[in-house]
Structure 1
Amino acid sequence: MTRDEDGTDEGVESGREPEPEPDREPVSVGAALDAGRMLLTQGHLRAARESFERAWRPLPTGSDDERLLRGLIGLLDAVRGARRGDSDGVRAAAATARESLASVPAGHRGIAVGDLGEHLATLSATAADPTVSEREPLPDLAPDAPDPLTEPDLDAVLLAVELLADAVDGVDPAVVADAARYAREERGTGRTRYAELLTAFLSDPDQRAPVYARLRDRVERERAKEDDVAGLF
């Protein structure tokens, strides 16, 4: 079960200019796109939007990457608005997204910009019918690109699991955040246990509960070790 998937966002509107990013790990455009695609395959529109927004905010206005991400944010705003029956919101978000994507080179970052423009046109034309977004599922953002979970990039996985932890019931985001920290510490050491568990947590919803239980137990043991070391000083 997910939490507040179609609730109203309190973050940026799709047409607003980027603002300074709060103090958190920087997000590359490639990692944000991969994480967003991973999340969208499971229907997590709000989490995917946040992935795109994390990378979008610090980008220079008007760059190809900035327009692409602004367009994707607007696309997801339009889809979510359609599912809520907010016809005015759909038209506004779709107009912003189409304007942003119109000047993005075809195939930029592997994204099927033309297909997304057609989908936005359909959403805008049928905004008064909330069932259209269900009958017309969101097209694959990058149909010619490899599945990002086939050879997952660690940065993309860590971003996706962080956002997923906020969307899935029964998951403590603090546990996932610590697991992500340990996965980063493992990088380059030859150890990949945390990366493997986090990838499994992300990729297989049917096994998510038992994987999370193993991940939580491992994190709690690691925390205990850290507390023991801290107690020596």
Structure 2
Amino acid sequence: MREHLRAGIAVFNAGDFHDAHDAWEEHWLDLESGTDDEQLLHGLIQFTAAVHHGYRRNWTGCVGLAESAEEYLAGLPDEYRGVDVARVRRILAGVGRDPEVLYRRGAPRLTHGGEHVLLADLAFESAAVAAGVYAGRGGYDAATIDRGVAYAHEDLEDGKENSRFVHLVRDFAADPADRGIIHQRLAGHVEQRRHRERDVEGLFD
């Protein structure tokens, strides 16, 4: 869960409010309803949606989502799973009273373990989650990202910490300006790896 939490927080902190929930949703759907973990992710998903609607000037939607998020987070400790839940609740209360505060002060940043997590800060597992989020937008081939992540895992299991797949997946997640070029490079390396695999398989046909 830590990897998903940090990925979603970093995506949110990058200003991609609507996309942040994609880092949490798949994991959240597998959780038992009403558990602390489920309530945390449900509350954060509603929180990011509230901010998204606030920036679109949908004040009614923003306030409704902020109030809903507060309800999900109400029973959690002030700090849970590294998230400063008390601060999130304070932000939600302020947005619920005056959603235009998002324009006056700008969107808040979320923290994990007291750290304002950025995309460049993510360890590989969290970066892989974030890469999957960004693969779903901008016309990128999600299958290429999935294969790149799979090859990165294989290399890490073999002790190859400096694998080009590890670096390219992290760069794809962290560098929006060059994301298209990085995707092309990753696609090329994925195809080379698949070609080598097919050659090896052909030896045993």
**TM-score interval, smaller chain:** 0.7 to 0.9
In structure 1, the partner of 2:128 is 158
1:78 CA drift (Å): 0.8
Identity of aligned pairs, percent? 30
Q: Under a length normalisation based on structure 1, what TM-score does the superposition of the two structures give? A: 0.76
Letter in 2 for 1:54: E
Q: What do you get for the CA RMSD once the two structures are aligned?
A: 2.3
| Equivalent-residue separation in structure 2 for 1:67 and 1:180 (angstroms) | 29
Find the residue that maps to 2:89 and give its secondary structure. helix
SS at match of 2:34: coil
User: How many angstroms apart in 1 are the aligned matches of 2:73 and 2:175?
Assistant: 32
**Aligned equivalent of 1:197:** 168
Q: Which residue of the partner structure matches residue 183 of structure 1?
A: 152
In 1, Cα distance between equivalents of 2:3 and 2:96: 29
Aligned pair count?
Answer: 201
Deviations 1:150-170 (A, max 9, x none): 764332121110111112x25
Higher helix fraction: Structure 1 or Structure 2? 2
Q: 1:79 maps to which residue? A: 51
Q: Distance in 2 between matches of 1:137 and 1:149?
A: 17
Matched, 1:54 2:26: yes
The whole-number CA distance in structure 1 between the counterparts of 2:116 and 2:69 is 25
Moved more, 179-188 or 144-153: 144-153
Tell me the CA shift for residue 143 of structure 1: 6.7
Structure 2 counterpart of 1:227, from 178, 198, 201? 198
* Counterpart AA for 2:102: S
Equivalent-residue separation in structure 1 for 2:122 and 2:164 (angstroms): 14
Normalised by the length of structure 2, the TM-score is: 0.86
- Structure 1 residues 44-53 or 203-212, which shifts more? 203-212
Residue 82 (structure 1) shift: 1.5
Residue from 140, 145, 158 that aligns with 2:115 = 145
Unaligned runs of 5+ in 1: 1-28
Deviations 1:56-107 (Å, cap 9, x if unpaired)?
1121222221111111011011111222232332222111110111111111
User: How far did 1:108 drift?
Assistant: 0.8
1:170 and 1:150 map into 2 onto residues whose CA distance is: 22
Mapped to 2, the partners of 1:219 and 1:164 lie a distance apart of 18
CA distance in 2: counterparts of 1:230 and 1:56, whole angstroms: 39
